[in-house]
Every structure is written in C-alpha cells, then in structure tokens.
Amino acid sequence: MERVVPPDAARLLGEARRVVVFTGAGISAESGVPTFRDDLTGLWARFDAQRLATPEAFDADPDLVWGWYEWRRARVRRAEPNPGHLATAAIQTRVPGSVVITQNVDDLHERAGSRAPIHLHGSLFAPRCVAAAAHPAAFPSTGDGEAIDPEEGRRTPPPRCTRCGALVRPGVVWFGEALPEAALAAAVQAAAACDVLLTVGTSGVVYPAAEIPTVAARSGAAVIQVNPEPTPLDQVCTVNLRGAAAHVLPALVAAAWEAR
C-alpha cells in the first residue's frame, strides 16, 4: 500500500539546512538484527542480557562475555543495511553538514554510506583494552567472528592487546558505565544547532541518549519521529509518522526533495 507523507513533514525536511538523524534499535531490527534483550538464543538463552553487559560480568567470566559479543558481532555481519539506513545516508549527501547520531552498536549506518555517525553507546567493531588508558585495542584478527556459530555461539577467551598486553573488551557502553564524553558532547552540540531532527526507531526511554530530541526541540528545531508505535517522545515532536523506518524514511526523503 502506498504511504502518503504529510506535506508539513516533507516541507520541514526539504527546507532544512542542518539535519540530525537520531536512530535507535528499531531501524536495525528491520535489518534482522535482534534488539538487545531479544539476542538470547542457543547457549545464551539461559542468561540475562543485562547481567552479561556489565564490567562485573566481564571481570568474573571474560570468556563468557567476550563469546557473547563475538556471537553478536558475527550476526550483525550477516545483516544488511535496509532502505532506512540508505535514506539516512541520502540525507547526509543532500544536506551537507548533516549528522547521524545512533544508539546502535552495529555498523549498518557506515555500511549504508553514512559519514562518521556518532555512536552514543559504542560499537561492536571498536574494541578496546581494559588497561587504565582504555585505548582502542589492536589484536590479531579472528576473521570478524565467521567461525562463531550463528545460532549457538560459544565461550571464547578474549584476545590480548598487542600494544600493551591487557585483555581486550567489547567497545560498547555497559550498564553502570557513562556514555563516552566526546560522543555525548558532539551529539548535544549537533542537536542544539540543527533545524530538523529525525528520531527513528528509538523507544525514548534510555537516558541520557533519549534527551537528544528534547535538546533539539528546546533549541527551536522541528522534531520528526518515525516509529511504528507511540513513544514518550511524542509530546516533543512536531510530526509523528507511524510506520517502519525502511518504508517511511525513503518516502519522506523522496517527498522532501520534491518539495525543495
């Protein structure tokens, strides 16, 4: 069925000079990437995702935690960017200076062509060592996890950093950890300076990331939400578009360029 984009949404995006696209788990789920708490099958089905994603869990059983993240990374590698990711990249191409901010730890925005997305929660593809300096880790390649069974997974000892010898940990933000200061500051700055912010596939309940659309609204930007269901962000949005990002975003982008 053909989806009609409201003229006001198309006009807002079409006239925008500074756009921020803020994405959450919903856009990646449309590529077949399970959401965090759904990513529990095979070996991992008997574990609580929230308990695996902590510094304490890694300290207590690094083989278990590293194996889970390697398994997740392998599953992401099998996914492909969907039309929502491609539409996001198209916005950056058509509106120079646009910024992508994501809560997702996958690399689907990069693979779709987006430039330098800000990862508020880190990335599965940017591991770092556990040493005090917490520098990005260098370690022998394991083939990006192709050997990890996509259904069952396995316990896997973490590698050692070839730079300092410390254990390598996933480069994601765990429960109890602060968001990367530089990423959060860049996201807030971009949201405060934009004239349109698109919030796509995010629940609006994970803070402090969920504050980003509110920062934009308070700074006078129009906030357009794309989500199949209502969220707590509805009240700060100028326009709410109900539907999947893979369908709504391409239609919105097409209508916006026609309105320019």
Predicted confidence at residue 125, as pLDDT, reads 92
CATH number for region 7-259: 3.40.50.1220
Binned at pLDDT 50, 70 and 90, residue 6 comes out as: confident
Residue 31 · residue 81 · CB < 8 Å? yes
pLDDT digits (tens, 9 = 90+) for 134-147: 677 765 554 444 44
Residue 214 · residue 202 · CB < 8 Å? no
Q: How far apart are CA 34 and CA 25, in angstroms?
A: 8
Numbered residues of the known binding site for NAD(+): 103-106, 201-203, 227-229, 245
The mean pLDDT of the chain is 88
Numbered residues of the known binding site: 69, 72, 103-106, 129, 161, 201-203, 227-229, 245
Predicted confidence at residue 136, as pLDDT, reads 74
Predicted confidence at residue 52, as pLDDT, reads 87
Predicted confidence at residue 145, as pLDDT, reads 42
Numbered residues of the known binding site for substrate: 69, 72
* Averaged pLDDT for residues 76-87: 96
Transcribe 108-124 into DSSP letters: HHHHHT-SS-EETTEEE
Predicted confidence at residue 39, as pLDDT, reads 60
Alpha-carbon torsion (39, 44, 47, 52), positive or negative: negative
Q: How far apart are CA 223 and CA 96, in angstroms?
A: 19
List residues with catalytic annotation.
121
Predicted confidence at residue 146, as pLDDT, reads 47
Predicted confidence at residue 42, as pLDDT, reads 60
Predicted confidence at residue 1, as pLDDT, reads 32
Q: Is the pTM of this model over 0.85?
A: yes
Predicted confidence at residue 132, as pLDDT, reads 66
pLDDT at 154 exceeding the cut of 90 = no
Alpha-carbon torsion (51, 30, 236, 223), positive or negative: positive
Tokens of 92: 């950056």
Q: Which of 26-35, 211-220, 251-260 has the highest mean pLDDT?
A: 211-220
pLDDT digits (tens, 9 = 90+) for 185-204: 999 999 999 999 999 999 88
Q: How far apart are CA 88 and CA 198, in angstroms?
A: 10
